[in-house]
Structure 1
Amino acid sequence: MQHHILVSPTRIPLQGKPFSSKNALISPQRFPNRKISQGLIEDFVVKSNYMTKTNNGSLTERVNSLQKSQKSISKDRVGSNIKQLRIPTDNFFQLTRGVNLLLTQKNKNPQNQKTQQLKPALGSMTRRNSMEELISSSNYTGIAKSSSQDKITTQEISINLHIGQDQVQNYRFASNISTDKLISMLKLKVNNNEIIAFQSLDDNIQLDYLLSLPNLSMESFVNKTIRLKPIINKIQNRINLNSFQFISVIGRGGFSTVVLARSLINGQFVALKLINKQFIQQHQKQDLIQNERDILIQTTYRGAIFTNRIEYAFETKNWIVFCIDYCPGGEMFNLIKKSQKLSEQQARFYIIEVILAIGFLHNEQIIYRDIKPENILIDSTGHIQLADFGLARPNMNKDSCAYSFCGSPEYMAPEMFQNSGHTQLVDYYCLGCLLYEFVTGLPPFYADDKNIIYKRLLKEQVEFPEYLSSDIKDLIRQLMIKDPSKRLGAKNGIDEILQHRWFKNIDIIQFINKSVKPPYIPDLQKLNLKSVNQNDQQFLEQIQREQKLNASFQSIFSCQFYFSKSGDKDKNIQLAKSTLENLVKKTQYNKQGLMNLQLQTNFENLLKQTFTNNKSKPDSKNKQQLYF
């Protein structure tokens, strides 16, 4: 038997002196615009002693003081000892007009001069209107704002629908319309049954993806015009590469490439995992690929609790293709790398969803064997999906043993090295390693040399930083016990793990129903799509050439491989009651088990509300949101 090891990527975690002028009157700190201050002084011919005074307050007070001083001014010209100031003649009509309006108002009411203060006329300059604003303003002083600015703009979303080269239809929708309702109304207006979706005229991927999702708000597009064109359904007997519109390369593995694409069958965005057939044949990996295909189909039809779902599986002349869910949040590895580490509250949310995914797989008699942040994806709602079942082993009950040496070195359980076989308990050890990396940023026995990692995980005990709580330290220690028979979960599976005190007051049904708000929700208008490099461009061009040829080929599998979920009308996607009971049968809620009458009633209602139709996702509407 060949051994294969998948090695994870290395984790690398003066101010200047202010200007002062000898002339306080014309200092740039006192008057930001020196020309304005000079213009004021010369407009009101003043005495020499006034020029030495500082700012006397508001403009109104300054005008009053100037009027009193004018009574004592001689009709003779000002003496030569006063320095003549040159007045700039441009742009000062606004300033002088404001002052003149003040003087005019005062002269009209000479009797009330002593008892009334000057009231600025409409448009006159006050302290609210700084000198700089008057000079820089394009509107004349005293002119009211345009009446058009006072009108309330209509809150609408404009759609320019380009049906053909010369045919454009314009529509307007209310601001509170959702994405799915907008698309449905556009389909009704066009009245063409072959139209499955719409895409932007300028290939705006973020906008196209947003419009493909249901029940999302369109308020960010209010008072904007969106140009769209229809996507026509391509009805085919069998799914092939021509059934998809390839967009961008979003991931690469050792012998596979993941591409973001849009289905031309239903208009949805999907992730296409393309595996090189030449590599499969050279390394005789047909059984592993067949297992991955069968596991994806099995888990999809059984409800897919926090696991990836499959839409299609097919092969071409050069590729094996899995069409699975697209998760715009990317890998958990990138989230940890960006934030360095998670808080215990954040880690609790994610590890509970991973534990439920592992419990779901064990209930389906599947050992996962490849838990690591790179295989945990974040979907559009912020919840996780466990992906990549290349190392998973089906048909394994609680006592069945497997003997393959596989996994990532940082996450391998000690029993992998003992050649005595490993069971489902190997996944519980990996859960401890994952939780450790969540809260510290690195795996527990991390080293650059994988041989050092192997020695440490066999002989050493895990060490913790001081900032972690005693409860999470105890949980990780019990999950990483080297003897599988003594490991947490050996007796009652994930139910035993979830009863640990670090998970106290946790309602597992709320988590299964996805009613708990995730710590991170991807911004769907800012998809993290990397720029296309030369290798990606060459790969996409190779796919396009194969699309055009659509050459015949001979299957490399002995069993049936082709799968289409949309074409399999006989099977309904539903979650069996026994599956949920096995996940939560003994977990305590507020010191009482699930089997008491009230919780049993809630459990039955949950099943009726969420799993009576063909939906694979539980319905989270009208459920109480829990926040951290």
Structure 2
Amino acid sequence: KEQKHVMVERSVLLKGLQHPFLVGLHFSFQTPNTLYFVLDYVNGGELFYHLQREGSFPEPRAAFYAAEMAAALGYLHSLNIVYRDLKPENILLDSEGHVMLTDFGLCKEGVATGGIMHTFCGTPEYLAPEVLHGYPYSPAVDWWGLGTVAFEMICGLPPFYSRSKVQMFQNILYGPLQLRSGISKAACSLLEGLLERDVSRRLGASCDIAELQEHPFFASINWDDLLARKIRPPFIPKVAGPCDVSYIDPAFTRQPVPACVNDRCQEAGVSEAFPGFSYMNPVEYLAAEPVS
């Protein structure tokens, strides 16, 4: 199952994901025991880290992040790809403060408009009710996921959170959406629209991202400028340069590089197990070519 997820991730990364808010693939290679991706280097930290540190965000900051996430999800949907695992741990900030979605292992490819899926997958706090019910589901699960992350950014916890997983699932299926006082009408409307259990009425279910772009919560967002990265992020990570890993968990940065990676060992037997896995981005290939 994990091997399948890895191959799906590679496939999605190779869909020409030239998008400003998606992590891109530079290389993939294999050693006798491991498959490796070499992705964009993003050192502004996980959204999870920043939420843990700050608790919640002001609405303008949450709107900026949610808009960039929505743009990334809308792009994936235009390629008939459903993301299915939006959560703060999978949302990175780059050194300029822009969102970068990563981890495409649970993506589902080939889901055309009106298509449905059946696989039970995702992260408990962020699962859509139709997934929990075991019903066939559509790309609208991603808009529910955006609603849960937007709620967490504004309120500090996922919308139906409980320490008991059983209770949390009951809350997702049947519990009321409890919005804290002080939230703007536009934010309430957005969260209620995205966290609508009736999929046919969920914001984004009919016209995908176009519905969100018209929502009052994003009234201050110029979507063309957003995609061009012309909007100044509300928070810019304080990184001294590419080698600054202060926003990255030391559990990752302290991991040793396996000797077989240093030796660049790629045996023929491995490539037979995963034919066609290894890849070099054409841009990287051209950069590596000697100048005559």
- Tell me, in whole angstroms, the C-alpha distance in 1 between the residues paired with 2:248 and 2:153: 25
Q: 1:487: how far off?
A: 0.7
State the partner residue of 1:563: 279
- Tell me, in whole angstroms, the C-alpha distance in 2 between the residues paired with 1:509 and 1:520: 20
Equivalence map 1:93-112=2 (5 Å): none
- Tell me, in whole angstroms, the C-alpha distance in 1 between the residues paired with 2:230 and 2:50: 22
Q: 1:354: how far off?
A: 0.4
- Tell me, in whole angstroms, the C-alpha distance in 1 between the residues paired with 2:154 and 2:174: 23
Three-state SS of the structure 2 residue aligned to 1:361 is helix
State the partner residue of 2:3: 286
Query: What's the TM-score once normalised by structure 2's chain length?
Result: 0.89
Contact persistence 1:286–1:556 (CA under 8 A): no
- Tell me, in whole angstroms, the C-alpha distance in 1 between the residues paired with 2:264 and 2:23: 31
Instruction: Specify which structure has the higher proportion of helix.
Output: 2
Query: What CA deviation, in whole Å up to 9, does each residue of 1:234-263 have, x standing for no partner?
Result: xxxxxxxxxxxxxxxxxxxxxxxxxxxxxx
What amino acid sits opposite 2:4 in the alignment?
A: D
State the partner residue of 2:33: 318
Contact persistence 2:20–2:229 (CA under 8 A): no
Residues 1:528 and 2:246 are matched in the alignment: yes
Q: Flag the structure with more relative contact order, 1 or 2, with Cα contacts below 8 A and sequence separation at least 6.
A: 2
Three-state SS of the structure 2 residue aligned to 1:453 is helix
Q: 1:465: how far off?
A: 0.8
Q: 1:558: how far off?
A: 5.3
State the partner residue of 1:431: 146
Three-state SS of the structure 1 residue aligned to 2:217 is helix
State the partner residue of 1:297: 14
Residues 1:554 and 2:280 are matched in the alignment: no
Residues 1:412 and 2:127 are matched in the alignment: yes
Match for residue 369 of structure 1 among 72, 84, 88 = 84
Contact persistence 1:329–1:379 (CA under 8 A): yes
State the partner residue of 1:393: 108
State the partner residue of 2:290: none
Equivalence map 1:327-476=2 (5 Å): 327-476=42-191
Query: What CA deviation, in whole Å up to 9, does each residue of 1:329-363 have, x standing for no partner?
Result: 01011111111110001101110000000000000
Three-state SS of the structure 2 residue aligned to 1:416 is helix
Three-state SS of the structure 2 residue aligned to 1:502 is helix
Contact persistence 1:328–1:380 (CA under 8 A): yes
Three-state SS of the structure 2 residue aligned to 1:374 is helix
Q: 1:287: how far off?
A: 2.3
- Tell me, in whole angstroms, the C-alpha distance in 2 between the residues paired with 1:411 and 1:312: 31
Q: 1:547: how far off?
A: 3.1
Distance 1:431 1:549, change over 3 A: closer
Paired residue total:
282
Instruction: Specify which structure has the higher proportion of strand.
Output: 1
Q: 1:418: how far off?
A: 2.7
Distance 1:383 1:459, change over 3 A: same
Identity %, equivalent residues: 30
Contact persistence 2:47–2:93 (CA under 8 A): yes
Q: 1:375: how far off?
A: 0.4
Query: What's the TM-score once normalised by structure 1's chain length?
Result: 0.43
Contact persistence 1:332–1:376 (CA under 8 A): yes
Residues 1:512 and 2:230 are matched in the alignment: no
Contact persistence 1:425–1:490 (CA under 8 A): yes
Contact persistence 1:305–1:360 (CA under 8 A): no
- Tell me, in whole angstroms, the C-alpha distance in 2 between the residues paired with 1:359 and 1:353: 10
Distance 1:567 1:414, change over 3 A: same
The runs of 5 or more residues in structure 2 that have no matched partner are 287-292
Q: 1:566: how far off?
A: 3.5
State the partner residue of 2:198: 483
Three-state SS of the structure 1 residue aligned to 2:92 is strand
Contact persistence 1:391–1:407 (CA under 8 A): yes
- Tell me, in whole angstroms, the C-alpha distance in 2 between the residues paired with 1:462 and 1:403: 26
The runs of 5 or more residues in structure 1 that have no matched partner are 1-283, 571-628
What amino acid sits opposite 2:143 in the alignment?
A: Y
Distance 1:445 1:547, change over 3 A: same
- Tell me, in whole angstroms, the C-alpha distance in 1 between the residues paired with 2:263 and 2:103: 29
Q: 1:527: how far off?
A: 3.5
Runs of 4+ off more than 4 Å: 529-533, 556-559, 567-570
Distance 1:530 1:330, change over 3 A: closer
What amino acid sits opposite 1:561 in the alignment?
A: F
Query: What CA deviation, in whole Å up to 9, does each residue of 1:113-154 have, x standing for no partner?
Result: xxxxxxxxxxxxxxxxxxxxxxxxxxxxxxxxxxxxxxxxxx
Match for residue 22 of structure 2 among 285, 293, 307 = 307
Query: What CA deviation, in whole Å up to 9, does each residue of 1:475-530 have, x standing for no partner?
Result: 10111111111111122111111211222243110101111100111223153166
What amino acid sits opposite 2:208 in the alignment?
A: G
Contact persistence 1:361–1:368 (CA under 8 A): yes
